[in-house]
Chain A
Amino acid sequence: MHINDRLFGVVFLLLAVAYGWQAQQFPEPLGGSESIGPSTFPTLLAVVLGLGSLYMMIRPDPDSGWPVGKTLFELIGVVVILVVYTALLESVGFIIMTTLAVGLLSWRMHAPPLKAFLTGLISAVVAFVLFNYGLELTLPNGILELG
């Protein structure tokens, strides 16, 4: 199957066209004294990407398999963990969120839950102490009342 490259060829071609079109909308610099304005380089890039994407469609490489079912679900899980981590880092605090994130990730990589969350807790505390006291960079305390 050669669907991947054809599909992404189309995606990249659309990107090239949109990017190139946008480049034409930049106003010419005042006076037009410069022979090359803000749109020249982007236009050049759009052409290169456009040609490359056409090549990908015409001579696609064989596909590598995409994750399906459970694996796909796990991967989405990783992204969700990282997004939630970012969203709650400042309000909930570094230690709790890091313990949870490292624990969950390592549990999803088939570590026993207890060991996984213990790894999370230890690494969170060590990193917190190192960054806050060693390097004097404040990581968010969050709901924990610390020094």
Chain B
Amino acid sequence: MDTINYLLQGFEVALTPQNLLLALIGSFLGTLIGALPGLGPANGVAILIPLAFTLGLPPESALIMLTAVYAGAMYGGRISSILLNIPGDEPAMMTCLDGYPMAKQGKAAEALTISAVASFIGSIVATIGLILLAPLLANFALSFGSAEYFALFVLAFATLGGITGKNPVKTLVAAAIGLMMSTIGIDISTGQPRYTFGMLELFEGIDFIIAIVGLFAISELMFFIERHMGDGDSMVKMNKLKINVKELIAVLPTSLRGGVVGFISGVLPGAGASLGSFLSYTVEKRILGRKNDFGNGDPRGVAAPEAGNNGAASGALVPMLTLGIPGSGTTAVLLAMLVSLNITPGPMMFQQHADIVWGVIAALLLGNVLLLLLNIPMVGIFVKLLSVPPKYLMPIVTLVAIVGIYSISHSAFDLYFMVAFGVLGYVFRKIDIPLVPIILGLLLGPEMEKNLRHAMMLSDGDWTVLWSSGLSIGIWAIAIAGLVLPYLLGPLLRRKMHKPS
């Protein structure tokens, strides 16, 4: 019953006029970010972080806004999938399969409505799952010692590429580079400056918001220029919505199942939203058997992946909130936000910052209601905005990001640093070094080193302490599986995911 009390308290936090307004703004911006191809949810949230800082928001408000952005981005991805046949973000890939055919048959409005309802149901199912599972997991995680945490960090990096990832070694390389960046600055426990080269600006370490905006936003701009994507793509015309309740009810079971499948793949390390939407599409196809018309504009083929990726998005918050281990790029960015607000994520957060945790969960429920309202009657606004070509939008977005950074510190040094990160991000993306592990490394580095120190101090320098308990051995085993499985299962799964598209 505690849970319900906490949740009610959460609603009290989320329902203040200011937070409600922020949730609405977040939902709107999130949908927009999700809809624009090329501006993925991780980028979008990253760009908005400096903005949340400059607004001087209290932690819970900032987090509510960004959670709404996060949820919104998952809704937005479907719009360009359906109208342009280009996924707005990676998890929306599967929505193209039936969404675009539907739009071509003159049922774009129906496809958008059905997918919005499915997104809503998937999200709600998964948020209920989150409410039930998160406190249990947080309680369990209280028994973790430093050695377990160290192993858990390794697990987070090992599984970050996902079992569909192409080259786990590159994930590891990226993680090492990120962790190395995190050691720049004064060592907290000994006061020893490390890798600062005598530069005063480096003594406090690298600010990861600068790294995030540089790596994501600036490199994205460079990619747009390189690929001459300035003009945008042609869009299917919108039609007048004629939908009946019966059609909506018909996709309900599909959406519910999709939400559950999505939630599970969101919680599991190494799965994530893309796999969530893929799995729920495939599972649904199996369940429906011969009754399906998947691939030719079946409404259920639109509902399943959308419920799946939204479910996974909420599910991914479970490890992020309870263990401080993000399961995806976007949750990593959300985690960055928490850390920069001086909140240490993890099981203690449920005790020390219960109001924030439950405020966010309540905001997630509320945000979904807002998103449903935004995405059905007002979907036309997003369609209009989507027709603004990137050649105008991308420079503006980039400049907003830069101004955000500048307004935090008023330091030109930070801006140069950000441009350097942009070039680095561009080069890394060219050689397939993923960027999210870098951010995550920069973010989790200090905690990881601290836990290693604690564990080693207690054991008097005996390294075996790191794998001495059953729990830590289990975590190491999953981490190793996370590195090995992509080689065994990866090619197979990747082929299956790409065959239908």
A-side residues, CB < 8 A to B, are 4-5, 8, 12, 15-16, 19, 22-23, 26-27, 29, 34-38, 40-42, 45-46, 48-49, 52-53, 55-56, 61, 64, 66-67, 71, 74-75, 78-79, 82-83, 85-87, 89-90, 94, 98, 101-102, 105-106, 108-111, 115-116, 119-120, 123, 127, 131, 135, 137, 139
Contacts and interface: CB of A to CB of B under 8 A. Distances in A.
Interface string B51-63: 0001110000000
Interface of B: 54-56, 166-167, 169-170, 172-173, 175-177, 179-180, 183, 187, 189-190, 192, 194-195, 218, 221-222, 224-226, 228, 230-231, 389-392, 394-396, 398-400, 402-403, 406-407, 412, 415-416, 419, 422-423, 426, 430-433, 448-449, 452-453, 456-457, 459-461
Contacts, number: 172
Contact of B430 (A22, A55, A66, A79): A66
Contact of B412 (A5, A35, A90): A90
A110 B31 CA distance: 26
A98 B407 CA distance: 14
Contacts of A83: 416, 419
B214 to A, nearest CB: 10
A57 to B, nearest CB: 11
Most chain B CB atoms below 10 A, which of A16, A35, A123: A35
Given A12-B173, A35-B460, A74-B225, A127 B399 contact: yes
A34 B54 contact: no
Contact of B399 (A41, A75, A102): A102
Contacts of B460: 35
Contacts of B231: 110
Question: Looking at chain B's contact residues, is the secondary structure mostly helix, strand, loop, or mixed?
Answer: helix
A26 B192 contact: yes
B168 to A, nearest CB: 10
B190 A87 contact: no
A82 B405 CA distance: 13
Contact of B224 (A109, A116, A119): A109
Nearest to A44: B452
Contacts of A119: 392, 395-396
Nearest to A71: B226
